Structure 1
Amino acid sequence: MAALVLGLVALALAIGLIMLIVDLKRISDDLDFINHADTNALVTTGSNIGLIRTLADRINAVLNKTRRLQITQAEQNKQVRQMLTNLTHDIKTPLTVARGYAQLLKEGSADQEQLGKILNNLQSVDHYLHYLMDFNLIQEKSVSLDLTRVNLSALVQQELFNAFDSLTARSVTVEPRIQTGVEITTDQIMMSRIIQNLIGNWLKYAEESAWVDLHKSEDGRIHLDFGNKTTGEAVDVDRLMERFQTDDQSRTKIRSTGLGLSIVDSLVDSLSGSMRLESADGIFLVHLLLGDAPQSKEL
């Protein structure tokens, strides 16, 4: 009788082992197929063994996460290619115009107005080159940030001081409303580029006056606003963030603003902040909500 029981146990163990091997073989075959085919298939198992089902579930979770990352990366690569195409076009256009006026200058037939157009077009090239530099900065910082404790109040004041002559030349009067001693854990290079870009937006579009408001609220969050008067009509702030427009009708003053603001938005997002735009009644406002950047982030 004991021998019969042992035989039955051995048979049950053998059957269980065979089923385990069959399920592992099925999972292995599924993975081999998934690795060599363009498919959204997942691994399957008919086993009722908890360990095998848990293994299959975790493999499928990894496959799904990998596919989401691949989709995100493919979309980012598409946007990068589109942005580089647009920037190449936008850099080529003012260079061509400046070259034509420079030829007139060489021939001695250029007047002051044409010289001003040369300068304006070369300034446009400078703006677009800064956009490329900012894009490279975003790419470099996408893996890790160089986080330090930064006196944001002092940083904003310093960038305003650096731009004072340029703002004065544009007859833009800036009112700083800066709370002293506001500190934040952030990447100082990226934060400087954010501030410089928003000051640069004043230089292109502000009329007469602008202001910057920096303060820390009771909940610990930091508010940084860049506002300016504008003589133009209120713009659709959603269109300002359409970073990769390609239609020729969109290649206007608003479009280049959108590219710069979109880059600012990317920089702010990399630092775990958020940006909101407002445009109404002759006022344009960029509102940044900031906090301490995390030590690491999931890409």
Structure 2
Amino acid sequence: MKVTLIIIIITLIVIICIQYVKNSKTSKDIKYIRETLQHIVEKGSTERIKLFTSDDEMKQLLTAINKLLDYNNNNITKYNKAKISMKKMLSNISHDLKTPLTVILGYVEMLKLKSEEKVMADKIYEKAEEVLDLINKFFDLARIESGDKKIQISKVNICEICRTTILNFYDTLQVENMEVLIDIPEKDIFVLGNEEAIIRILNNLIFNAIRYGGSGKYLGLVISDEETFAHIKVIDKGKGIEEKYKEEVFERIFTLEDSRSKSYQGSGLGLTITKSLVEALGGTIHVNSLPNVKTTFSFTLNKLNY
């Protein structure tokens, strides 16, 4: 009787141990699958999940997961190829259109010399310049996003660049009778950047503040000296941007007149290019807006602390 009881107890213990080992193995396998999937998502890798197991259900699950991963990788590859192809097409179209437009502008310049044709020539010239400007923006955006436009990063004085850039808008700000606040530290602040790119970023943001926020008769340019980065803000007190549009203003073809004023027309590419340039410099850009009170476009650039 005692021997039988002992055998039963031992058998139960063995069964419990086997079940524990099995459950423990399953738990480890699930943890491995979860961590591998997380790594694949975060790194955007094309690897598959490899796991040796005798569990039929686990094998079926792994097969299904790997099929989904293969399907997703194929879609990503097709998307990237289509994206590169589209960017190259835009770049080629932009280049092909610029040449005849430049020639047209040259002929219009000649027409403008004759007084009786000057008015008409001025209008043609103005519209041709608008088209050329749009093409240049398309061309620049395509080159930046495709990696064709290499931006050289070096040590630049952000304070000096901001002072010079805002001075270029002096006449416009005077004509518009705008109150101007310039808060730039006297000491030099050096960042990792590119002078040409930063000037273009500032020009776009200041131009938009005047064009779309001019009703507030206020423009601010502020630099904050943070520990590891410089924080640059362009501020206006115009009509502002509605909350529902704040996430869209940096998207291509979205125009600020959608959210501010219907009386102004834009290409919808200025802020997209601005964001691309900021990110190419290793920075970030954001917008905060309280309509008719304060709208702030701010971007950061990494500081050089030596």
Taking only aligned residues, the RMSD between alpha carbons, in angstroms, comes to 5.1
* Aligned residue runs from structure 1 range 36-115, under 5 A: 70=77, 73-74=80-81, 76-77=83-84, 80=87
Q: 1:280 to 1:68 in 2, by over 3 A?
A: same
Q: For 1:239, what is the secondary structure of its paired residue?
A: coil
CA deviations over 1:252-272 (Å, ceiling 9, x no partner): 678837421111111111111
Q: Is the 8 A contact 1:186 1:271 kept in 2?
A: yes
**Amino acid of the residue matched to residue 125 of structure 1?**
V
Q: For 2:269, what is the secondary structure of its paired residue?
A: helix
Please name the residue that 2:212 is paired with.
Answer: 205
Q: 1:67 to 1:268 in 2, by over 3 A?
A: farther
Please name the residue that 2:181 is paired with.
Answer: 175
> Which of 291, 296, 299 is 1:281 aligned to?
291
Please name the residue that 2:232 is paired with.
Answer: 224
> Which of 233, 237, 243 is 2:252 aligned to?
243
**Amino acid of the residue matched to residue 290 of structure 1?**
L
Find the aligned partners of 1:244 and 1:78 in 2 and give their Cα distance: 19
Q: 1:240 to 1:143 in 2, by over 3 A?
A: closer
**Amino acid of the residue matched to residue 270 of structure 1?**
A
The Cα of 1:41 is off from its aligned counterpart by: 9.9
The Cα of 1:242 is off from its aligned counterpart by: 2.9
Find the aligned partners of 1:136 and 1:166 in 2 and give their Cα distance: 30
The Cα of 1:81 is off from its aligned counterpart by: 7.2
The Cα of 1:152 is off from its aligned counterpart by: 0.4
Q: 1:191 to 1:70 in 2, by over 3 A?
A: farther
In the superposition, the TM-score normalised over structure 2's length comes to 0.54
Which 5+ residue runs of structure 2 have no aligned equivalent?
Answer: 1-45, 53-69, 99-113
Corresponding position: 1:193 with 2:200: yes
Q: 1:268 to 1:69 in 2, by over 3 A?
A: farther
**Amino acid of the residue matched to residue 156 of structure 1?**
C
Please name the residue that 2:302 is paired with.
Answer: 291
Aligned positions, number: 229
**Amino acid of the residue matched to residue 222 of structure 1?**
A
Q: 1:120 to 1:164 in 2, by over 3 A?
A: farther
Q: For 1:189, what is the secondary structure of its paired residue?
A: helix
Please name the residue that 2:31 is paired with.
Answer: none
Q: Is the 8 A contact 1:87 1:128 kept in 2?
A: no
Q: 1:73 to 1:244 in 2, by over 3 A?
A: farther
The Cα of 1:121 is off from its aligned counterpart by: 4.5
**Amino acid of the residue matched to residue 287 of structure 1?**
S
Q: Is the 8 A contact 2:87 2:146 kept in 1?
A: no
> Which of 241, 256, 259 is 2:266 aligned to?
256
Please name the residue that 2:191 is paired with.
Answer: 184
Find the aligned partners of 1:129 and 1:170 in 2 and give their Cα distance: 29
Q: Is the 8 A contact 1:275 1:289 kept in 2?
A: yes
Corresponding position: 1:131 with 2:137: yes
Find the aligned partners of 1:258 and 1:136 in 2 and give their Cα distance: 14
**Amino acid of the residue matched to residue 214 of structure 1?**
I
CA deviations over 1:212-246 (Å, ceiling 9, x no partner): 111212x3221111111224673622232331469
Find the aligned partners of 1:159 and 1:229 in 2 and give their Cα distance: 20
The Cα of 1:274 is off from its aligned counterpart by: 0.9
Q: For 1:206, what is the secondary structure of its paired residue?
A: helix
Which 5+ residue runs of structure 1 have no aligned equivalent?
Answer: 1-39, 47-62, 92-105, 294-299
Q: 1:158 to 1:68 in 2, by over 3 A?
A: farther
Find the aligned partners of 2:232 and 2:150 in 1 and give their Cα distance: 24
Please name the residue that 1:149 is paired with.
Answer: 155
Find the aligned partners of 1:233 and 1:265 in 2 and give their Cα distance: 17
Find the aligned partners of 1:161 and 1:147 in 2 and give their Cα distance: 24
**Amino acid of the residue matched to residue 272 of structure 2?**
S
Please name the residue that 1:265 is paired with.
Answer: 275
Q: 1:242 to 1:142 in 2, by over 3 A?
A: same
Find the aligned partners of 1:110 and 1:145 in 2 and give their Cα distance: 41
Find the aligned partners of 1:199 and 1:290 in 2 and give their Cα distance: 17
